[in-house]
Amino acid sequence: MQLAVIGGTGLIGSQVVRILNASGHEAVPQSPSTGLDLLSGQGLAEALSGADVVVNLTNSPTFDEASPAFFQATMDNLLTAAGAAGVGHAVILSIVGADLVPGFVYYQAKVLQEDLLKTGPVPYSIVRATQFFEFMDATIAENADESTVRLPATLIQPMASADVAQAVADVSAGHPLQGTRSVAGPEVFALDELGKITLAARGDHRAVVTDNSAGMFAAASGDALIAKDGAVLAPTTYREWLAR
Ligand SMILES: NC(=O)c1ccc[n+]([C@@H]2O[C@H](COP(=O)([O-])OP(=O)(O)OC[C@H]3O[C@@H](n4cnc5c(N)ncnc54)[C@H](OP(=O)(O)O)[C@@H]3O)[C@@H](O)[C@H]2O)c1
């Protein structure tokens, strides 16, 4: 199977390309560094020529008010070109609970991306994943100084990016779901507790202060970001991943 992996140089995309090629498919990474700009459409027709599947793993450069316009323009370009090229399956990666956090514009932008795919001309699959373990350092840095890290007690169920990539590769090599597959980590944590575990594992002696207004995850409440019924649980635990 020939797959164009847009965003194929990113954290998830590069792993998806590796997994697909190792299992005998022909997955080609596409991104600005390979001459494809999904925002302008430059290089898109060439990238999709002969592709059976397009996997879109791009990300908005910012998580702010500019993100809806990024996902609108990139999905408009993708769907128009994929429809014209006769691509038989389009896959995107979205976020568990994105529709349940109306106060976070980036998550609204991901819901917009899902809606554009669902109403577009190409058979589709949506993979929804929870937050990546790899995202924890940036989350800690968001509201930290030399002595203190401020984190909300928001519940999250994070997972290893390698497990996300495996789920995306599996769905991409299959038939279009015309629906969504959700994947999540094996354990639920309060984010402030996860911060303490992370700092302890790294020998970082800063104190974690629970602050339910700190950072972008403060916008999520209750079990919004936790896997719902039917989600597939990934194998790798956070402590296993930290120990690697
Ligand atoms: N963070 C989370 O916890 C989480 C959870 C669930 C789902 N997701 C979703 O997972 C997806 C992938 O995330 P990631 O962390 O792997 O992203 P990433 O590491 O930032 O990679 C983004 C990729 O998109 C490419 N790209 C950026 N702008 C582009 C453009 N205009 N045209 C073509 N390619 C472009 C980048 O290319 P260059 O390297 O050349 O810049 C890179 O290959 C995102 O859509 C995100 O919403 C994230």
In tens digits, the chain (244 residues) has pLDDT values of 999 999 999 999 999 999 999 999 999 999 999 999 999 999 999 999 999 999 999 999 999 999 999 999 999 999 999 999 999 999 999 999 999 999 999 999 999 999 999 999 999 999 999 999 999 999 999 999 999 999 999 999 999 999 999 999 999 999 999 999 999 999 999 999 999 999 999 999 999 999 999 999 999 999 999 999 999 999 999 999 999 9
Pair 181, 126: CB distance under 8 Å: yes
Task: Measure 58 CA to ligand 1 centroid, in angstroms.
Answer: 4
> Helix 105-118 and helix 67-85: axis angle, to 10°?
20
pTM: 0.98
Find out whether the beta carbon of 158 lies less than 6 Å from any atom of ligand 1.
no
Q: From CA 64, how far away is CA 28, in angstroms rounded? A: 30
Going by alpha carbons, the residue nearest to atom 44 of ligand 1 is 59
Q: From CA 225, how far away is CA 218, in angstroms rounded? A: 11
Q: Which of 15, 58, 110 has most ligand 1 atoms within 8 Å of CB, for mutation?
A: 58
Q: Phi, psi at residue 17, to the nearest 5°?
A: -60, -45
Q: Could you give the strand order of the β-sheet that contains 180-184, starting from the edge strand earlier in sequence?
A: 26-30, 2-6, 53-56, 89-95, 124-129, 180-184, 232-233
Helices within 39-145 (DSSP H only): 44-48, 67-85, 105-118, 136-142
